[in-house]
Amino acid sequence: MPVETLIKEGDCLDVLQSQPSSSIDLMITSPPYADSRQSTYGGIHPDRYVEWFLPRAEQFLRVLKPTGSFVLNIKEKVVDGERHTYVLELILALRKQGWLWTEEYIWHKRNCYPGKWPNRFRDAWERCLHFTKEKKFKMNQDAVMIPMGDWAGSRLKSLGKNDVVRFDSKVGSGFGKNIANWVRRSMAYPTNVLHLATECGNRKHSAAFPPALPEWFIRVFTDLGDWILDPFAGSGTALKAAKGLGRNAMGIERCPEYCALAQEILNDAQLVLMQPESHYVTAL
């Protein structure tokens, strides 16, 4: 099943003008954080973050299908000793724009940056805000079930590589029935807390989320062949995840160097279904 994977250079505010309405199934992105990467991204000042974001979000709202989802990975910076409020204000503003703030997932960063400050512990989590257009939206909960408890955990660990592949291929066409029976009994639905390690592999683009993050949301909120959009594509992590999972994807990125980097990464991307997966979510 061939999928398209496009990268477009430019500001998503401009690029999306030519995108048809209601054409995207899932938007997932980690936008430029306020002021944090001034040198590379031309960071946005925290006090003006909402007004910068809103016109772009208006385009997002237009191109997203009614049953689609918008997942925004973001975390407020510390400014002057305090957590800045621009993320809170953004949520309120997006609701006024017509979005539904359906859920807030927590990405728990298992291996967060080391460091010590006198009045603060290490920051080990980020928000994954889930917005929708309608109360009813596409959601495939079975696609992200996790091993249940210790008993099942130890059983799963004893599985061979082939079993893992067949287990993983569940999302795709078929699912071995013999294994399905006891897997079903030993699997549980996840919660709204995701335990993922940060990946430090990508040196050229520092801010990207780990592939497991978009993978998880892509599995939950889209089917094979759906369209995924990352309006701040960066090095293309979400695009690669989409391609690997058999979804079409479009990325928009302002910086030409990141565009080139993303294109390069995408050329290496394979369908992950054919490989033992990266254990994107583990039971605690």
Does 114 interact with DNA (rule: CB under 7 A)? yes
Q: Is 180 in the site for DNA (CB under 7 A)?
A: no
Q: Does the footprint of DNA cover residue 81 (CB under 7 A)? A: yes
Residue 66: count other Cβ atoms within 10 Å of its Cβ: 11
Residue 23 CB, nearest distance to a second copy (Å)?
A: 22
Which H or E run contains 244?
Answer: helix 237-244
Size of the site for DNA (CB under 7 A): 42
Q: CA 208 to CA 40: how far, in whole Å? A: 13
- In angstroms, what is the minimal distance from the CB of 1 to DNA? 29
Q: What, of a second copy, DNA, none, does residue 36 touch, CB below 5 to 8 Å by kind?
A: DNA
Taking the complex as a whole, the smallest distance from the CB of residue 145 to DNA amounts, in Å, to 8
Q: What one-letter code names the amino acid at 50?
A: V
Per-residue contact track with a second copy, 38 to 57, x per CB under 8 A?
--------------------
Shortest distance in whole angstroms from residue 114 CB to DNA:
3
Report the distance separating Cα 262 and Cα 264, nearest Å: 5
**193 contacts a second copy (rule: CB under 8 A):** yes
Choosing among DNA, a second copy, none, which partner's interface includes residue 174 (Cβ < 5 to 8 Å by kind)? none
**246 Cβ partners below 8 Å, 6+ apart?**
1, 3, 172, 224, 225, 271, 273
Q: Report the alpha-carbon angle 123-51-16, nearest 5.
A: 100
Residues 65-94 that bind a second copy (CB under 8 A): 80-83, 85, 88-89, 91-92
Place of tokens 């998503």: 12
Q: CB neighbours (10 Å) of residue 10?
A: 13
Shortest distance, position 2 Cβ to DNA, whole Å = 29
Record the tokens describing residue 256, joined without a space. 């030409």
d(CA 76, CA 94): 16
* Residue 125 CB, nearest approach to a second copy (Å): 5
Q: Which 3 state secondary structure label does DSSP give 62?
A: helix
Cα angle 27, 189, 153; round to 5: 120
* Residue 159 makes contact with DNA by CB under 7 A: no
Q: Which does 30 bind (CB under 5 to 8 A by kind): a second copy, DNA, none?
A: DNA
151 is a contact residue toward a second copy (CB under 8 A): no
Name which of 136 and 161 has its Cβ closer to a second copy. Answer: 136
Give bridge partners of residue 64 from the DSSP assignment.
Answer: 24
Helices 86-97 and 49-63, interaxial angle, to 10°?
A: 40
Element holding 5 (H helix, E strand): strand 5-9
> Can you give the binding site for a second copy, defined by CB under 8 A?
80-83, 85, 88-89, 91-92, 95, 100-104, 106, 108, 110, 112, 116, 118-125, 135-137, 139, 141, 189-193, 195, 284
Point out which residues bind DNA (CB under 7 A): 30-33, 36-39, 77-78, 81, 110-120, 123, 148-149, 187-189, 197-203, 206-208, 232, 234, 283-284
